[in-house]
Amino acid sequence: MKNFIRKQQGLTLVELLAVIVLVGIVSGVIVMALGQLSAGNQVTFARQNAQEEARIISNHIIGKLREQKYNLIVPAGAATAQSKSFLTLYTTASRTDNYIRYYLDIPRKAIVVETVMNGQAPVTKDLAASVTGASSYFLTQSGQTSSLSSSEIQVKYLHLEFQLVLLANQKGKQQTYDYKTDITIPAWDK
């Protein structure tokens, strides 16, 4: 009898079932972790895209502000369905000949720049897509906010805020990303 017990090799059915259960649990944990990692990567990638869109808008505005002296800079606050424009840069006092206007095209969720030079027809260009909100206002030397034009106050910074669409979750609700930046207004010698 002792020889018979010593020569038995292999796994019993109970041991085999225990191994299968453990492998199943470990596999389930790994699959869940990979799913969460993938979802996190999607949000990170979407946030990077939203930041890039907001930087494109900000860099365009910065470039225009540094390019030349503007006679008047008018932040319009938040863009709405009634008033889509959120920032206008006037190069002349007439306000009709030469200006650059930034506005939010709400149905298309796009930031559009409209340029008028020497009284010609407006030229429009899309700067960014997936934008659901845009606003601008001034920060004065004392740090106060103001929506007055640049000719009425001593301006230090132009504050811009954008809200961009990130992802639609499984319930259909959109996640958004808020981007805020302050642009130093150049002190042009008069």
Question: What pTM, to 2 d.p., does this model score?
Answer: 0.68
Residue 45: both structure tokens together: 């990638």
C-beta of residue 157 within 8 angstroms of C-beta of residue 183: yes
pLDDT at 190 over 50: no
Domain boundaries defined on the chain = 24-184
- The pLDDT score that the predictor gives to residue 30 is 94
Q: pLDDT tens-digit profile of 87-125? A: 888 887 666 778 888 888 888 888 899 998 888 888 999
- The pLDDT score that the predictor gives to residue 18 is 92
- The pLDDT score that the predictor gives to residue 172 is 62
- The pLDDT score that the predictor gives to residue 62 is 83
Count CB-CB contacts under 10 A for residue 113.
21
Give residue 189's pLDDT band: very low, low, confident or very high (50, 70, 90).
Answer: very low
